[in-house]
Copies of this chain bind each other. A is one copy, B any other.
Amino acid sequence: MKRIGNQTLELSGDCFIIGRAALVGEKEKLGTYGKYFKDVVEDDKMGEKTFEKGERKMLTIVNNNAIKNSGLKAKDIDLYIGGDLMNQIVSSNYVAEEMQVPFVGVYAACSTITESIGVAACLLDGGGFENILCSTISHFSSAERQYRYPLEFGNQRQCYSQWTVTGGGAFVVSSKKSDIVIKKVCFGKVQDYGVIDIANMGAAMAPAACDTLVAFFKDTKTKPDDYDFIATGDLGKLGGDILRDLMEQQGYNLNQNYTDCGHSIYSFEEESYQGGSGAGCSASVLATYIIDKMKEGTFKRVLLLATGALMSTITNQQGDSIPSVSHLIELNKV
C-alpha cells in the first residue's frame, strides 16, 4: 500500500471482494433496482416485537448470505468490521456477539460501508488477515424513531426529506483472487457547511462528497470521464444536484456516468421526495446493481462514495449544525 498525493491510498492489488449480499424491504424491491434485489423481506419486523430487533435479524441474514456467497464458512472470517445507524451501533454489536469473530465497530453514519471496506482493504494489504467481513444495515422505522419522530406520531415530511432504506449489504473482502479488485481508498475529511435542518441531509452531505471526490481526482490526476460509473451514497435528488454544482465550481463535470444511489433507488411513483438514504442504501446497491454490472463487463472502473450525515439529536437540539463525511473506494473489474 502506498499513498498517492495527500489523501489517497493505492493498494498493492491483493484486495478483492469475493462475496456479497443484500437484503431489502418491499418498498426498495418496487424501486429502480428491484430486479437486482433478489432477497426481500415482507415483514420488516422479521417476526420480532420491535423494529430494532427486526433490523438485527436482517443484518444476521445478510452477513451469513455474503459469507455463503464467498464460498467460505463463518470460521474462515478473521475479522468483522461494521456499523449501523443505531445509537452505539447496537445492531452490529449484537450480530457480532452471535458470530464470535473479532469485531471492529465503526461509526460513519451512511458512509459506513465504504469506511468499513476501506479499512478492511488497508488491513488486508498489511498481511495479517485473509478474509474480512464488512457490513451495514439501516431500517426506516427504527431510524425515524431514533432521529426524528416515531411513526405513530404521523408527522408530515418536508419536500426535501429522504426515506431511510430498509436494507443492508455485506461483503467479504479477501486476499483470495476474484474479478472485483479494490484499487484505491480515500478516507474523507469531515465537512460542515452549517446546515442545521435534520430533514435536509442531502445539503449537509454534498460538501463532504465534493471534498473527497476532488481530493481523489487531484491525488490520482484523473477526472470523472476516466471512470465508467461514479456513485455517491445517499445525497438524494437535491443533494446530488448540489454536488454537481459544487464539482463544477471546482472544474469537474459529473456527467451521465454519475448517479446517487439515494436519488435512484426509489421509482418516481413511490413519492419518496428526494429519494433514499441510510447506511443500507449504497451498501445494498453496491452488493447488487453495481457489482452485477461490473461482473457482466458494463462497468470496469467504478468509484463509490458513501456519504454520512453525522447528525445527533442532542447536538441538533443544542443548535449545532450537521457535520458530514464521505469515504471513497475505487473498484476495478479484473
A-side residues, CB < 8 A to B, are 1-3, 7, 9-10, 49-50, 52-53, 78-79, 83, 86-90, 93-94, 96-97, 100-109, 115, 119, 122-123, 125-129, 146, 186-192, 310-315, 318, 320, 323, 325
Contact = CB atoms under 8 A, between A and B. Distances in A.
Contacts of A109: 88
Nearest to A53: B318
Copy number in the complex reads 2
B1 A127 contact: yes
B96 A104 contact: no
B191 A97 contact: yes
Contact of A190 (B9, B50, B96): B96
Contacts of A189: 96-97, 100-103
Given A83-B107, A88-B311, A115-B104, A127 B2 contact: yes
A241 to B, nearest CB: 24
A187 B102 contact: yes
Nearest to A50: B318
Given A53-B318, A123-B122, A126-B126, A310 B88 contact: yes
A188 B86 CA distance: 21
B315 A190 contact: no
A105 B103 contact: no
A94 B7 contact: no
Contact of A314 (B2, B87, B108, B125): B87
Given A107-B105, A119-B119, A188-B103, A90 B3 contact: no
B315 A52 contact: yes
A323 B94 contact: yes
A109 B83 CA distance: 13
Given A10-B128, A52-B318, 19 more contacts: A1-B126, A3-B128, A87-B88, A88-B311, A88-B312, A89-B310, A90-B310, A90-B320, A100-B189, A100-B190, A101-B189, A103-B190, A104-B108, A106-B106, A107-B107, A119-B123, A123-B123, A123-B126, A125-B126
Contacts of A86: 312, 314
A190 B97 contact: yes
A185 to B, nearest CB: 9
5 closest A-B pairs (Cβ-Cβ)?
A126-B126, A102-B187, A1-B128, A97-B190, A107-B107
A320 B103 contact: no
11 contacts: A1-B128, A2-B127, A52-B314, A87-B88, A88-B107, A96-B189, A96-B323, A96-B325, A101-B189, A105-B115, A119-B123
